[in-house]
Amino acid sequence: MKSFGKKILTTLMLAGVTFGFAGRMEAQPIRVITTTPELADMTKQIGRELVDAESLTRGVEFMHAVPVKPSFVPKLNRANLLAHMGLDLEVSWLPALLETAHNPKISPGQPGNIDCSTGVSVLDVPRSIDRSEGDVHPKGNPHYNLDPLNGKIMARNIAEGLARNYPQHRPVFEKNLAAYLAELDKAIARWQAMAAPLKGVKIVTYHVEWSYFANRFGLQQVGTIELKPGIEPTPNHLISLTQKMQQEKAQLIIFGPQSDRFPRQLASQTGAAVVRLQSNAGGSSETDTYIKFVDFNVRSLLAALKKS
Amino acid sequence: MNTAVLNCLFWLFILVPAFVLWRPSSIMAQDEIIDLLKRQMAQMQATMKEMAGRLEQLEKERASANGKIATVEQSVKTIQSAPSALNPAIGMAIDMTAEHRANAGADFNFRAAEISIAASIDPYARAYAYFTGSKDDFEVEEAAIVTTSLPWNLQARAGRFFADFGRLAKFHPHEYAFVNTPLSLERTVGGESQADGVELSYLFPTPFFLRGTMGGYKKMGAENERIDNTKARAWSRFTYLGRLQTYFDLSDNHSIELGSSLAFTPSVRIPSDPEGGNRTLSGIDLTYRYQPLGSTLYQGFTLAGEFFGNSERLERGAGFRRMFAPAGYVYGEAKINREWAAGFLYDNAPSLASPGKKTIGYSPFITWSLSEFNRLRLQYSYLADNVREDKSERGNQFFLQWTTVLGSHSHGFRTR
């Protein structure tokens, strides 16, 4: 009788544990870690209450020099999915963290690793890969998020990544994706109308990250402040850039998370307007979603153009 | 008049006024319809124009994408056909100094040419190796296999590697913020914590970073020459390690990293001291970092230090005695702008056998990074030395260091 009682008790405990786990699994949202705030924003829009998305970066960092913080390790360790920009944007910090995170299911090539650059028409693919050309990206320019049409590709990749790993929720992800894409399409039409005055405007950028944006809104890139990607300018380079800007009548100098020292120096010599734009969403309430972030960049450029 | 004519007249009287009354409203309605149609046509024309524009843009993008896809496919085919497609990532660091030491003279010091290779082995492990040639010798500095998919947050490592003791002992010298290995580290750990053996680390499932490591090695310390690394010996004469390491973000821009390590050798026997005894080397490492997220390229500050305590039987006078020697260093380095950084190193290194005798080092340094891969550094050191073992570790010293990295080169998480 005693052993029968024990059996019953054990069965009840096992059942309790099983149902407890099942209950927990049902209730727990999908933990998605993203490398940038716009990817977290899109994941929230597409996954809604099914996901818990968090970005490792705040959106103000220079993406090629994000500090490798050990506090990122437990987040990656517990993540169900990882969404990243790809094209080696995060190459200086993400691989080192993934090596330490003990989470093979989000390793490159695994279903839990969502590369949001899949399907993007890549610009600035280098003709030769040699560091005499600076800190080149062998796969091409990774700042494709600056073109809002690529935002649609990023959203689709996230939805596909979520559905690939959680097929039972596919209809929900697809429905939310359609709603998000419709919202984004409306915003794109608005930006294209707003950005009409930008067509043909000649610009100088600090780093070669604005190609996609320039391509979408018809801006013409005249040169970069950096001598080569990742290499600060020499005095000679600044002199020849000043001359080129004067010849080409460049109107705007665009920079991001870099120092404003050289942009202001060039502006004082050429009369061009200086504008600091955001390379990624996040950083402030003005840019905390992807749509607000593109909106901020378009509006900032238009405001700067009026001043020039 | 017949009935038919009357009927006709009747309908004429009814229909003509009706037509007259009806016609203007009909014309007005038709005008409105025409206006509406014109507006719709205009809208349709605008829409079609916009659609045509978008179509043209899409076609352009598609053509450009197709061109690029063809190029990429061609490159992929070329790569796939190359027999070296699965070669590991290869890199090299070159580290040299021009130096003048008041008590030892001048030198062009070829410190290291370090060739690194790394790749995944299979889904379960990866491997890496560093081969270092210097003015003295050429050696396998590290060559280790690391597991990548052990369950329960475990990771195993085996081979020759820098044991997980403290912080700076795991750096290759060209990665320091200053020129030389602190003497405190050199005398206690033996420079880099190089060891032949095996290690198991565990990442605790805590919301903050907490990692523990256990290891067993034949010996620890690249320059620890008190023990012969080539001979087999009893397990009791191996070195066993335990380490705990944690990290906290004080805010987005400020962080603290803390570690404690213990390396225990149950029985150290050297020929002149057959009695032997155990050796305990303990260490605490603390690193504070200020990394303003929006300007990490231009600003930053690191304050880091380590304290070591070595307890072992060492030759003193005519016999052997157990001695405890505390040692340590602390340095601060501030980023001045994107290319320049400057700092100061304080080093307190006692003789292990006579802890009362010390070498105290003071070293200001300034670093110019021409790019991420090319760096020049100027350092002045003053060593107040009463250990009197090596005249090169005394007095005024000047160093100009040039370090470059080419190819693929990353020492990963440990040297962040």
- Cβ pair A73:B207 closer than 8 A: no
Q: CA-nearest residue of chain A to B155?
A: A102
A115-140 tens-digit pLDDT: 999 999 999 888 777 777 777 788 89
Instruction: Show Cβ contacts of residue B306 under 8 Å, excluding neighbours closer than 6 positions.
Output: B166, B167, B168, B184, B185, B283, B284, B285, B286, B328, B329
Question: Which of A231-245, B9-23, B57-71, B382-396 shows the lowest per-residue confidence on average (mean pLDDT)?
Answer: B9-23
The rounded mean pLDDT for chain A is 89
Q: CATH code at B260? A: 2.40.160.10
Sign of CA dihedral B62, B66, B67, B68: positive
Interface of A with B in 69-128 (CB under 8 A): 69-71, 73-74, 77-78, 95-97, 99-102, 104, 107, 121-122, 125
Residue type at B216 in one-letter notation: G
* pLDDT of amino acid B206: 95
- Cβ pair B208:A71 closer than 8 A: yes
A142 forms beta bridges with none
Residue B222 scores a pLDDT above 90: no
**Reported confidence tier of residue A253, pLDDT bands at 50, 70, 90:** very high
A166 and A39 in a common domain? yes
- Cα angle B403, B409, B415 (rounded to 5 degrees) comes to 80
For strands A252-255 and A273-276, give the pairing. parallel
A173 and A205 in a common domain? no
* pLDDT of amino acid A21: 45
Q: How far is A59 from chain B (nearest CA, A)?
A: 8
Q: Which DSSP category does A234 fall into?
A: P
* pLDDT of amino acid B57: 73
* pLDDT of amino acid B140: 96
**Reported confidence tier of residue A24, pLDDT bands at 50, 70, 90:** very low
Q: Pick the last residue of a domain from A191, A218, A252.
A: A191
Residue A112: strand, helix, or coil: coil
A141 and A68 in a common domain? yes
A256 vs B304, higher pLDDT: B304
- Cα angle A57, A106, B405 (rounded to 5 degrees) comes to 65
Q: CA-nearest residue of chain B to A279?
A: B294
Question: Which of A83-92, A230-239, B29-38, B406-415 shows the lowest per-residue confidence on average (mean pLDDT)?
Answer: B406-415
Residue B404 scores a pLDDT above 90: yes
Residue A98 scores a pLDDT above 90: yes
B341-355 tens-digit pLDDT: 999 999 999 999 889
Q: Pick the last residue of a domain from B29, B50, B82.
A: B82
A192-227 tens-digit pLDDT: 999 999 999 999 999 988 999 999 999 999 999 999
Tell me how far apart the alpha carbons of residues B251 and B268 are, in angstroms, rounded to a whole number. 45
pTM of the predicted structure, to 2 decimals? 0.82
Residue B58's domain spans which residues?
1-82
Give yes or no for A66 touching B (CB within 8 A): yes
Residue A25 scores a pLDDT above 70: no
* pLDDT of amino acid A302: 93
A169 and A44 in a common domain? yes
B345 and B208 in a common domain? yes
Q: Which two tokens stand for residue B128?
A: 């890496």
For residue A274, being part of any structural domain is answered with: yes
B97-156 tens-digit pLDDT: 999 999 889 999 999 999 999 999 998 999 999 999 998 889 999 999 999 989 999 999
Residue B60 scores a pLDDT above 90: no
**Reported confidence tier of residue B18, pLDDT bands at 50, 70, 90:** low
**Reported confidence tier of residue B65, pLDDT bands at 50, 70, 90:** low
A210 and A77 in a common domain? no
Residue B66: strand, helix, or coil: helix
* pLDDT of amino acid B75: 65
**Reported confidence tier of residue A230, pLDDT bands at 50, 70, 90:** confident
**Reported confidence tier of residue A306, pLDDT bands at 50, 70, 90:** confident
* pLDDT of amino acid A23: 44
Tell me how far apart the alpha carbons of residues A91 and A228 are, in angstroms, rounded to a whole number. 18
- Report percent pLDDT > 90 for chain B: 60
- Report percent pLDDT > 70 for chain A: 91
Residue A160 scores a pLDDT above 50: yes
- Cα angle B176, B178, B182 (rounded to 5 degrees) comes to 80
For residue A96, being part of any structural domain is answered with: yes
Q: What is the ipTM of this complex?
A: 0.83
Domain count, chain B: 2
Q: Pick the last residue of a domain from A174, A191, A208.
A: A191
Q: Shortest CB distance from A96 goes to which of B65, B289, B416? A: B416
A207 and A175 in a common domain? no
Average pLDDT over residues A146-155: 95
Residue A161's domain spans which residues?
27-191
The rounded mean pLDDT for chain B is 87
- Report percent pLDDT > 90 for chain A: 74
For residue A154, being part of any structural domain is answered with: yes
A204 and A168 in a common domain? no
Q: Pick the last residue of a domain from B49, B82, B115.
A: B82
For residue A52, being part of any structural domain is answered with: yes
Query: Which chain A positions have a beta carbon within 8 Å of B61's beta carbon?
Result: 121
Q: Pick the last residue of a domain from B82, B102, B131.
A: B82
B245-275 tens-digit pLDDT: 999 999 999 999 999 999 999 988 777 777 7
Q: Which two tokens stand for residue A108?
A: 């490159």
* pLDDT of amino acid B22: 54
- Cβ pair B153:A68 closer than 8 A: no
Domain count, chain A: 2
* pLDDT of amino acid A17: 46
Residue type at A109 in one-letter notation: G
Residue B412 scores a pLDDT above 80: no
Residue A292 scores a pLDDT above 80: yes
- Cβ pair B297:A62 closer than 8 A: yes
Query: Which chain B positions have a beta carbon within 8 Å of A71's beta carbon?
Result: 208-209, 247-249, 255
